[in-house]
Structure 1
Amino acid sequence: MLLFKGGLESRIGLIKGELEVAEESPFASLNLGQPLLTVACEDMRLTVGAPELVGNRAVEFSY
């Protein structure tokens, strides 16, 4: 497992948003409806540090 330390700075504001999901989309069955709140980020600055190993866990996959 890796841990990424970082920070985010941005000016945020509320905007009007609409959501359209095509009937053939795999997300159509989720019945998402219209968003209640839409946020816009301007002048976003994202800083991400180098990953640090914080755990070691084997994952088994079966196909």
Structure 2
Amino acid sequence: MRIDVDWDRCEGHGLCAEQAPEVFSLDDDGELEYAYQDSDIPDNVASGVKSAIGACPVAALREHT
């Protein structure tokens, strides 16, 4: 599983980081950090990532197809 992040759309709400803290976090400036930018997301955190996609209020995350 891979995620596409629309960096222009992200507003740093942090709901993704609440749902999948192993994958998403916010830096000190409130900017999104995505731990698996260039690799597959491990299966053991995939359900949290799917929750993060649904929780994003600006739809900045989507599963890569």
TM-score by length of 2: 0.24
Name whichever structure is richer in strand by fraction. 1
Q: TM-score, normalised by structure 1?
A: 0.24
Hey, which of these two has a bigger chunk of helix by percent? Answer: 2
